[in-house]
Amino acid sequence: MYAIVGLGNIGNGYKNTYHNIGFMAVDKLAEELKIKFDTEKCKSLLGFGYIGDEEVVLVKPTTYMNLSGNAVDEVMRKYKIKKHHIIVVLDDIDLDRGKLRYRASGSGGTHRGLKNIIEVIGSNDIPRLRIGVGKDERMDLKDYVVSKIDPYAMQEIEPAICQGIEIIKQKIIEGTVLSNDIQIKKQ
């Protein structure tokens, strides 16, 4: 079983914000696979289904971003998921808007949610797909990540979300291990 964990914050105030890109990606994947988030367990909203022949659980932690590790740890334990079968999807302010980066391991960088997962799990060998959201130098970083995504920015981010979903499906279906650092420019 694989767990695809979208990072974000629960609540309408955070909907369509840069920090909720992970939620948006797993929502889009759920829609494509006709998976419903109909289970609330392990400090998360969960949806179960298949990608190819592999069973997957889509995870949206309800712990808020900076405590995501608690939810991921509970999901791993309850469903006996190995750390290399977790794929974390998150926003990245250090990547230009619309770029993607997949890594099989590494540090949490500047992302507190990913840092918390690494800390709680006790390993940085957790695959992650970062979706670039850039940053606005005129805004405080905390304000920027929880600001609403304007339609122009969404036009740049949406293709990256779709391409990211394809990368996740390919990894799960084909069992391919992507190179440790892959950057994909928007088309």
CATH 3.40.50.450 matches 2-184:
no
Active site residues: 19
pLDDT in 10s for each residue of the chain, 187 residues: 999 999 999 999 999 999 999 999 999 999 999 999 999 999 999 999 999 999 999 999 999 899 999 999 999 999 999 999 999 999 999 999 999 999 989 998 889 999 999 999 999 999 999 999 999 888 888 899 999 999 999 999 999 999 999 999 988 988 764 444 444 443 3
Using CA of residue 13, residue 4, residue 101, residue 125, what is the dihedral sign?
positive
Q: Which of 13, 98, 105, 21 is nearest to 60 (CA)?
A: 21
DSSP string, the chain: -EEEEE----SGGGTTBGGGHHHHHHHHHHHHHT----EEETTEEEEEEEETTEEEEEEEESS-GGGHHHHHHHHHHHHT--GGGEEEEEEETTS-TT-EEEESS---TT-HHHHHHHHHHT-S---EEEEE----TTS-HHHHHTSBPPHHHHHHHHHHHHHHHHHHHHHHHH-----SSEEE---
Supply the pTM of this predicted model: 0.92
